[in-house]
Amino acid sequence: MILVRQTLEKLVQDGAIQALRPLGPTQLQPSSLDLRLGARVWQLQCSFLPGSEGVSRKLGRLATASYRTDRDEPLVLHRGGVYLAEIEEVLELPEGLFGRGNPKSSTGRLDVFVRLLTEQGYAFDTVPDGYKGRLYLEIVPQSFHVAVRRGDCLAQLRLASGAAALDGDALRDWQQKSPLCSWSDGAPAPVLDGPPASILLSVDLMSQDGGPVGYQAKRHQPPVDLQRRDLETSRWWTPLPMASDPGHGHVLEPEQFYIFATRERLRIPPELCAELVPYDSTKGELRTHYAGFIDAGFGWSESADTDLGAKLVLEIRTHDVPYLLEHGQPLFRMEFMHNEAVPDWLYGEDGSNYQGQGLRLAKQFAG
């Protein structure tokens, strides 16, 4: 089961989750923990996995420069650079608990590729059972330079014990009684048996209000300061209108970054959380998301009859060749997981930035 906020809070009190600076009041999410940048960042020759050699020794060979994030001015991480940052949080997990890392939603929407590392990890975004030690974050800005400070949150961690995934029968039961994922007409989306069981989601290229159906990132712009909330959208993004013939779709250019939204809407009830997973690489040479975890309460309300939930934002980058993206094209799967209990508060109850969203850029941009 996925641990929920009140259990994470107890792990903090018991010392299983520690920090170099006290945790902030908003770090504990319904089913996850936000991770903060620490004081030190290293620029690297290349990405790496620590393995048995460990982070420190690998840094001794691969770091080209080191920086501080606790100065008066923010630290600018340049587009195309590979960086490693220490994380404020430190883990002393008991046996039976393990973790998984994901970028936060705003991180993915800025085309900042991040992956979690442990001291001697052999896999990205994976915290082994009973792990004790520091955490690190690999950061690769791909479209924009980004300005960061100590304490900025770019990633999140969920902790679990045992198997959490819903099987096909349980997922179908939810879809029948209180749909987790619905088409625009309210009909529940079909379930793929897997394993693990999942629901297939697709891209929306139809505009309901005459607005854009997506955005393309502009390069060679000033850094995006992660603490800003008033940046002018048009300086960093080109809006993409609905095609004159929606059946013709949009041609995506190689190594460009795009934001779209799903046709489907999600309602994640208090008992569950969810994760985006790749659909099938044979369906197109493109990356379809960066931020993969969705907390309990996203898009949720008591009545599915009056509220169909929230769309998901799709972060898409194509590779090698131009690619035709068409309305309704399936791009990824959504898997659902059991929470160990109902969280003591849900996503959206604190005025979360993306609750009830349609097509939405990162929170740093106005409008």
User: What CATH number does residue 28 fall under?
Assistant: 2.70.40.10
In this structure, are residues 7 and 160 in contact, taking their beta carbons and an 8 Å threshold?
A: no
Query: What's the structural domain count of the chain?
Result: 2
- Report, as an integer, the average pLDDT of 185-212: 88
Any idea what the Cα angle at residue 175 is, between residues 169 and 177, rounded to 5°?
100
349, pLDDT greater than 60: yes
The pLDDT value given to residue 289: 55
Of the candidates 119, 44, 48, the one whose C-alpha atom is nearest the C-alpha of residue 80 is: 44
Are 332 and 183 contained in the same domain?
yes
Label residue 61 by pLDDT band (50, 70, 90). very high
341, pLDDT greater than 60: yes
Are 46 and 80 contained in the same domain?
yes
- The DSSP letter of residue 78 is P
Are 59 and 141 contained in the same domain?
yes
- Report, as an integer, the average pLDDT of 170-198: 90
Partners of 136 in the β-ladder:
86, 117
Query: What DSSP element (H or E) covers 86?
Result: strand 82-92
User: What rounded mean pLDDT belongs to the chain?
Assistant: 91
Query: What DSSP element (H or E) covers 13?
Result: helix 5-14
Q: Which residue has the tokens 């045992």?
A: 162
Are 76 and 218 contained in the same domain?
no
Are 93 and 179 contained in the same domain?
no
The pLDDT value given to residue 272: 96
Tell me the three state secondary structure of residue 223: coil
Label residue 244 by pLDDT band (50, 70, 90). confident
Query: What DSSP element (H or E) covers 64?
Result: strand 63-68
What percent of the chain has pLDDT above 70? 92
Full residue range of the structural domain in which residue 275 is found: 168-338
The pLDDT value given to residue 212: 95
Are 118 and 173 contained in the same domain?
no
Are 46 and 187 contained in the same domain?
no
The pLDDT value given to residue 367: 67
Whether the model clears a pTM of 0.85, i.e. scores above it, the answer is: yes
What percent of the chain has pLDDT above 90? 73
The pLDDT value given to residue 356: 62
Model confidence over 149-179: pLDDT tens digits? 999 999 999 999 998 999 999 999 999 998 9
Partners of 157 in the β-ladder:
33, 101
Indicate the residue type of 126: T
Are 42 and 65 contained in the same domain?
yes
Note whether residue 352 is domain-resident. Answer: no
Q: Which residue has the tokens 């679990």?
A: 160
Model confidence over 67-102: pLDDT tens digits? 999 999 999 999 999 999 999 999 999 999 999 999
Model confidence over 297-339: pLDDT tens digits? 999 877 655 567 899 998 998 888 899 999 998 888 899 999 9
Model confidence over 249-278: pLDDT tens digits? 999 999 999 999 999 999 999 999 999 886
C-alpha distance across the termini of the chain, in Å: 37
Residue 360 CA to residue 152 CA, distance in Å, equals: 21
Q: Which residue has the tokens 């970054």?
A: 257
The pLDDT value given to residue 117: 98
Query: What DSSP element (H or E) covers 109?
Result: helix 105-109
Query: What DSSP element (H or E) covers 169?
Result: helix 168-177
- Do you find a cis peptide bond into 196, omega within 30 degrees of 0? yes
Indicate the residue type of 354: Y
In this structure, are residues 138 and 82 in contact, taking their beta carbons and an 8 Å threshold?
A: yes
